[in-house]
Amino acid sequence: MITKEALQFLADLIANNNTEWMHENKKRYESYKKDYHNFIASILNEMKPLDKSLEPLEVKNCTFRINRDIRFSKDKSPYKTNMGVWMSQNKNSKNAPGYYIHFEKGNCFIAGGVWCPEPNELKLIRKEIEFFHDDLEAIVTDKTFKNEFKELTRDESNTLKKAPKDFDPNHPAIEFLKLKSFTASHKIDEKLFTDKDFSKIIAQKLVALKPMNDFLRRALETEE
């Protein structure tokens, strides 16, 4: 669970997103960071027995820096006001399949999969779908997956209008092949984050993504 103190820190940061306030509240930030790391540790403790590929992960592999990259952003607020947890099956790979937890006032969700893979990785995933689409279809139509995540994420920014180059537009899995990211997400009530059993509850939800992550990992590990 997230402590009330950590949530209050984020709420105050929203109202005071500047370096002066952060410097004045350095001790509060250090306390927040400790709570954040403890939060991640409790989730890893629940997830590792459910997905053995997460065994190598340490807390430091799952954190995000609080500083925003504002170089190319119109929003010059220096700090993130959300809390994120990323558990990747390969901590050394930028686009390895994984699990994500997001706390933000009014926008809390869990998600997983591979987001915006590199062109060569995207090709590998599409090739896997081209030849083994029945496997992916079975995964996303499974009752457990559908109960938690319903379907793979589809939106205009994530989906091609036409078949990708070198793929048959009449392929039975063409709607999967049109995807540019392979993720699934589910909104959750922010009150759940303060539940003493949060880590156990959320791990049981996230593990529904394991078959999809295994499929994607298989694709990315296949030699062309």
- 83-88 β-sheet, strand order: 83-88, 98-103, 109-114, 182-187
Question: Please, what CATH class does the domain formed by 4-220 belong to?
Answer: alpha beta
Distance CA 55, CA 90 (A): 10
**Sign of the CA dihedral 34, 39, 45, 49?**
negative
Q: Give me the residue spans of the domains in the chain.
A: 4-220
Taking each helix axis from N to C terminus, what angle separates 198-206 and 26-47, rounded to the nearest 10 degrees?
Answer: 50
Query: Which pTM was predicted?
Result: 0.94
Model pLDDT, residue 224? 60
Output the DSSP codes for 40-65.
HHHHHHHHTTT-GGGTT--GGGS---
Q: Mean pLDDT for each consecutive 10-residue tract of the chain (224 residues)? A: 95 96 98 97 98 95 92 88 92 81 96 95 96 97 96 94 94 97 96 96 97 96 74
